[in-house]
Structure 1
Amino acid sequence: MSARILVVDDLAPNIHLLQVKLQAEYYDVLTARSGYEALEVAQSERLDLILMDAMMPGMNGFEACRRIKNNPDTWHVPIVMVTALEETKDRIRGLEAGADDFITKPIDDFNMMARVRSLLRLKMVTDQLLSHTGHTLSNSRSLLETIEKQRGRILLVDDHKRNAEKISTPLREKHQIVIESDPVKALRLAKTGVDAVIVSLVADSFDGLRVCASLKFNEESRDVPILVIGDPEDETRFVRAYDIGINDTIMRPIEVQELNARVQTLLRRKFYADSLRENFNENLEMVVADPLTGLGNRRYFDRAVEPLFDALETRDTAFSVMVFDIDHFKRVNDILGHDMGDQILKETAARLVTNMRAVDVVARYGGEEFMIAMPETKLGEALVAADRVRALIAGTPIFVDGEALQVTTSVGVAEAEPGESLRDVFKRADDALYKAKQSGRNKALPAAVRQAA
């Protein structure tokens, strides 16, 4: 899992130690030596996770965490507080500041990597949810907070009654807890709809790892997040549990704040994924809203390119837009009739979508006009692709009712520039399309570079 992680600590040896450990797992690591510097890096760089030392001179980690979480541009980045303080009040202070999790010095490598992987998975699902719902960072916080207020149904699999009660009591304040000591019944319950499963590795009457494996084997429970509980000396079994596919671990003796943080992360990921799936299903008709061609419509295209503009502004990730227009289409409709025109539109749409990449956004923007957005593509590359597809359309007749029709298209291509809106990019691409029409049609021409204000 490739990700960019910011390590914040005022001591160089601590930074170096974490940097080496994280880079060994192929993460991209940035560093900051103070809370103030952490705020600057978080504002200027795209981050997937922050490891924040709690006690630093000047601005401590708690205050830096609070400011990052209150910033509309950075609130979504998960933060793990790293502290030598073991008092409960300090952990509560970190969670109140907005931290998603915490680890205690001296840092245990296994525990740290478990936290990192779990929160990176959450960040990935969060990004997907915001992208697919069309929400931006500035207007998505209320959406996610609404999702997080859901009451979760948690299955606890443990045959120690006292342990089970100790685990379930603090969780019952927010969630419904179902305790089951029989693994067969637990597997049956997991198939009926639960939001998370907690499995004990220290049970006497069943093998917790086998329960986890069965949960992941069954299709009905495969996607339910799993937290396993064991003793510190169970590290080998924890590693095996991750191999099976569990999501997180917690070691005994269990701190209530740590338990709540781990469970909340799992539930957030589950709720976000459920919402993403529901949003996809709800918008499926909108995505294929053009009944004639089967392509996305204008509304779909406008929403689909919003994440591309976000990536352009935050990560300088280029993308380009093409405007395809069927030449002399009005004449086709007037002479051959609308039924023939509809067949040409459908065949042109099919050729466009089958000759572009899977990541490209292809839509019928209106009439005989089609829009295509190419992520991570500069103008020169997009122009080559546009000309290739244009030549393919022109070089292969479209057969309608046994009659071969020669159809050509004109194309305008523009690369989005920082500060532009979709309307701006479309206008430049449309101007290039107009020039292609004026210069004889059946051409792909690049847009002019935007004039500086």
Structure 2
Amino acid sequence: MSARILVVDDLAPNLHLLQVKLQAEYYDVLTARSGHEALEIASKERLDLILMDAMMPGINGFEACQRIKNNPDTWHVPVVMVTALEETKDRIRGLEAGADDFITKPIDDFNLMARVRSLLRLKMTTDQLLSHTGHTASNSRTLLEQIESRPGRILLIEDHEKHAKKMMNPLEDKHKVLVEGDPVKALRLAKTGMDLIIVSLVSSGFDGLRVCASLRFSEKTRDIPILVVGDPDDETRFVRAYDIGINDTLMRPIEIQELKARVTTLMRRKFYADSLRDNFNENLEMVVADSLTGLGNRRYFDRAIEPLLDELDTRDTPFSIMVFDIDHFKRVNDILGHPMGDVILKEVAARLVSNMRAVDIVSRYGGEEFMIAMPNTEEADALKAADRVRGLIAGSPIYVDGQSLIITTSAGVAQVQPGENLRDVFKRADDALYRAKQAGRNKVLPASANRKAA
């Protein structure tokens, strides 16, 4: 489905002209002839962007925009104010009403489409963030406002001191702005964690397009938003910049409120994307990590040993698993309580992981049971490693609320056989663990002994 754009203008020729231009770019266009009609459509339809004429009879564009931004169901829809008003105070009025951007009539096609593309990408990122966090537009405003309030790091690549100061000064009240006129130094600086990069296309000392291309080529900077600044009659270079992958453009002479509006939109996208990525990583960690011990969980272990099973089948590379279980853990919980039991679980987990090799896969498989896979290890060597770790756990007390406790573990060890799946080898190791428990606990037994007995 195409992006849905609502065009609002009380003059039919203006409305029709914008509709034709946007439909030529394959957008789904809705129209309204008044602020009141725009509010009604916005309350009923799914919209991705609104182009709003500022001066209309009845409810003007400023008021309509303010109502849309105050509505918990529509506040996140980007609004572009379309106006013939040139004065700064009118642009400020639009921004105060909540407008995300503004375009001055007569409308330049290139400028219009650049604004539309930039804000539609913002809307898409916002929607992704909301869907991944489980929030809706109506209950997520506080979440997104917290994200937007962050100060950011901006790199301004400009070698003209006067031009640099004009852009730097109005942004420094909220963000940290670094200025660099040397493109080589700027590219190094860009890799130190920037949230936005502003590149001059009118510098006599460097090629701004080449700088943009280098930023997009580098893995460390390719996701950072880029705003380019140039002369309005240099459309060819702007087109090339968009082909390279920049995010937005700013025409000279620079109008301070427009600069702030462009920067705010790009920073929001960056912060939203960062939050989306952090949320995804957090969810992924929750899926594969045990929240109490920090070890991988059962799902993590099952996935992590898949390459080992493949290597066993294709290259006959041996590996073994061991199943550890804390002795008398139910009694510990019953006597000392679950909080103390959690402390013991965490300490045992820490001793297991700190005394195994870096290549070994250590997980909490459930309850007081831990599973370890040892790549490129036959059962006899795994048995020695398991018994060494068992001795280390039993040989040093665990301190819980000032109490010194001797905690022991039992383990079963099994080498994985060709063609064997995890369930089969786990059963063999678990049977060995059961025999270790039956034999008095604080022991490690091999699964092979069970086979020989059979």
Q: TM-score range by the shorter chain?
A: 0.5 to 0.7
Q: Structure 1 vs Structure 2: percent identity of aligned residues?
A: 80
2:159 is aligned to: 159
Distance 1:399 1:204 in 2: 65
Cα distance, 1:282 vs structure 2: 1.3
User: What are the residue-to-residue correspondences of 1:44-193 with 2, within 5 Å?
Assistant: 44-193=44-193
* Structure 2 counterpart of 1:135, one-letter code: H
Runs of 4+ in structure 1 off by over 2 angstroms are 285-295, 398-402
Distance 1:97 1:269 in 2: 20
Could you say what secondary structure the match of 1:138 adopts? Answer: coil
Could you say what secondary structure the match of 2:5 adopts? Answer: strand
* Structure 2 counterpart of 1:78, one-letter code: P
Distance 1:177 1:161 in 2: 14
* Structure 1 counterpart of 2:169, one-letter code: T
* Structure 2 counterpart of 1:125, one-letter code: T
Could you say what secondary structure the match of 2:52 adopts? Answer: strand
Cα distance, 1:281 vs structure 2: 1.1
Tell me, which stretches of 5 or more residues in structure 1 are unaligned? Answer: 296-397, 403-453
Distance 1:159 1:292 in 2: 56
Q: 1:400 to 1:257 in 2, by over 3 A?
A: closer
**1:39 lines up with 2:39 in the alignment:** yes
User: What are the residue-to-residue correspondences of 1:143-292 with 2, within 5 Å?
Assistant: 143-288=143-288, 291-292=297-298
2:438 is aligned to: none
Q: Deviations over 1:136-178 (max 9, x none)?
A: 1122100110011111100000111000001111111111110
* Structure 2 counterpart of 1:266, one-letter code: L
* Structure 1 counterpart of 2:39, one-letter code: L
Q: 1:31 to 1:161 in 2, by over 3 A?
A: same
Distance 2:179 2:288 in 1: 44
Q: 1:280 to 1:56 in 2, by over 3 A?
A: same
Distance 1:9 1:258 in 2: 22
1:415 is aligned to: none
* Structure 2 counterpart of 1:235, one-letter code: E
Cα distance, 1:219 vs structure 2: 0.4
Distance 2:77 2:209 in 1: 32
Cα distance, 1:287 vs structure 2: 3.5
Q: 1:37 to 1:203 in 2, by over 3 A?
A: same
Q: 1:401 to 1:161 in 2, by over 3 A?
A: closer
Q: Deviations over 1:354-413 (max 9, x none)?
A: xxxxxxxxxxxxxxxxxxxxxxxxxxxxxxxxxxxxxxxxxxxx99759xxxxxxxxxxx
Distance 2:422 2:172 in 1: 66
* Structure 2 counterpart of 1:234, one-letter code: D
TM-score, normalising length: structure 2: 0.64
User: What are the residue-to-residue correspondences of 1:251-400 with 2, within 5 Å?
Assistant: 251-288=251-288, 291-292=297-298
Cα distance, 1:285 vs structure 2: 3.0
Distance 1:287 1:72 in 2: 32
Could you say what secondary structure the match of 2:7 adopts? Answer: strand
Distance 1:207 1:8 in 2: 40
1:430 is aligned to: none
1:18 is aligned to: 18
Distance 1:91 1:280 in 2: 37
Cα distance, 1:2 vs structure 2: 3.0
1:373 is aligned to: none
Could you say what secondary structure the match of 1:266 adopts? Answer: helix
Q: Deviations over 1:105-128 (max 9, x none)?
A: 000001111110000010011001
Distance 2:204 2:139 in 1: 49
Distance 2:99 2:125 in 1: 18
* Structure 1 counterpart of 2:77, one-letter code: V
TM-score, normalising length: structure 1: 0.64
Distance 2:200 2:2 in 1: 31
1:3 is aligned to: 3
Could you say what secondary structure the match of 1:232 adopts? Answer: coil
* Structure 2 counterpart of 1:155, one-letter code: L
Q: Deviations over 1:290-334 (max 9, x none)?
A: 955679xxxxxxxxxxxxxxxxxxxxxxxxxxxxxxxxxxxxxxx
Distance 1:292 1:155 in 2: 44
Query: Is this contact kept in 1: 2:54–2:83, CA < 8 A?
Result: yes
Distance 2:289 2:175 in 1: 39
* Structure 2 counterpart of 1:146, one-letter code: Q
Distance 1:86 1:14 in 2: 18
Q: 1:292 to 1:176 in 2, by over 3 A?
A: closer
Distance 2:289 2:60 in 1: 52
Cα distance, 1:280 vs structure 2: 1.0
Distance 1:113 1:156 in 2: 25
Query: Is this contact kept in 1: 2:199–2:229, CA < 8 A?
Result: yes
Could you say what secondary structure the match of 1:233 adopts? Answer: coil
Could you say what secondary structure the match of 1:227 adopts? Answer: strand
Distance 1:163 1:292 in 2: 58
Q: 1:158 to 1:36 in 2, by over 3 A?
A: same
Query: Is this contact kept in 1: 2:287–2:299, CA < 8 A?
Result: no
Distance 2:210 2:178 in 1: 20
Cα distance, 1:286 vs structure 2: 2.8
Q: Deviations over 1:210-250 (max 9, x none)?
A: 00000000000000000000001111000000000000001
* Structure 2 counterpart of 1:269, one-letter code: R
Query: Is this contact kept in 1: 2:118–2:247, CA < 8 A?
Result: yes
Distance 1:117 1:177 in 2: 26
Q: 1:100 to 1:399 in 2, by over 3 A?
A: closer
